[in-house]
A and B are shown apart, each in its own frame.
Chain A
Amino acid sequence: MTNAGTETRTFRMHVNLGPQHPSTHGVLHLELEMYGEYVLGIDPVLGYGHRMHEKMAETRPWQSFLANTPRIDYACSLPHSHCYASLLEQALEIEPPPRARSLRIVTSELNRIASHLLWVGAFLLDLGAFTPILYCFEDREQVVDILEHITGNRLTHAYMCVGGVSADADSAILQKTREFILRMHNRFQIYDRLVTNNIIFITRTRDIGIISPEMARAYGATGPVLRGSGVPGDIRKIAPYGGYEELKFETPVGAKSDCLDRYHVRMQEMRQSLNIIEQALDQMPDGPVQAKVPRKIAPPPGHYSFSVEGARGDVTYWAVSDGSEIPYRLKIRSACMANLSLLPELCKGMLLADLIATLGSLDLVIPEIDR
């Protein structure tokens, strides 16, 4: 920079993105190596939201850890609880009653819609579009209100419990859910006019951040990131759990593996989730919502694994029991961590603005990575 006058030159520089930068969605810290506007490499620094959930699991009874599970991924908390509760049910050989299974599906899918709506708004905000998040939050508010009525919480729903769910849903709120489905189908037309067909949005995301199916597989990327790359990988479809095997839905996939495809996949998934909720409501039987569960939960010695499809991909819990009331080891698989781990390879040679778009398209919840 010794050149005087109007002459400029490009040089290498080190840029810190985050941990408090809004486009890193929480507390992710990226150390960027830049050459002008181009990214040469990134080094993600994790751990700002680390709470040591896995150690907490080893210090408290099995059922007490259920209260931790919604706090791992706060944007889509019910699949985490669903996974942990199902793992214990599998270990103890408990079958939740049919009504509880339906309620689990309805609430999980509502949670998925809420999470995707939050993502659409935040993603567009990253790209510089302010208006869509106002629409998204208006719709998300409806979902959160329904979930609050059913589960008692707005964000960290303590709803799933071993052997079923903690509370039944009354017919009024189920009717309200049906009204929401109708409303939401109409709202997609607004999103299409506002976002999907918006030429600025398309230009910012088309052919940006192309993740090949091979790359997604090598890094263990799952969820909409994998499906955006054209691989129809969805645990609800491949290895159904908790009643998903009785429901009809499609697995939307992308064709070009870019940010725009990941947007399309999530928008289509919300429509599929509405279909799932409608079917689950139609088929919902009457009856109890909790199975008989022993007062002391102590799975027999051995190891247990359970996987569900969260809003961000493969959520797997793997537990080792020594036969006591306290887990010996609990491993929580975070989908976001695998999805983010491909970014250092993907970002090389990208423009900084495209990196922000790609980072946004991965739908990261940082506390889920850090656990």
Chain B
Amino acid sequence: MPIKILSVDDSRTIRLIVGRSLRPYDCVLWEAANGEEGLAVAVREKPDLILLDVTMPVMDGVTMLARLKEDPALKAIPVVMLTAESGRDNVITIARLGVCDYLIKPFKEEQLIDKVGRAVQLQKKEAAAPVAAPAPVVCF
């Protein structure tokens, strides 16, 4: 059963890097460009993990996280925050909101995989599977 991961970031570049990093692993990736879209996908797909940017238009990551935690059906989904802001207060604020972990931008792809692997059981695709086949990406 592939792991279901939702990447919420207004930067297509970051979503692309997330998809590229996860390509060798047995997972299905959904994408959303802001918190509002991300919440809709989360409700619909019940992902196993959410990778969530902080600063986004329409609805930021902190607001989306708060909404997730208010919803009994979604509050247990582990969330890893991706943020360009590494300040002490920001990290403390994020931690208090109940995230599973956080990753400071800039990051290396192996750091992302390490964080994801701590939150969910990532498994490499079987050797027999075509290596070039990308993980399915479903854009909201």
Question: Do the two chains bind?
Answer: no
Binding site for B on A (CB under 8 A): none
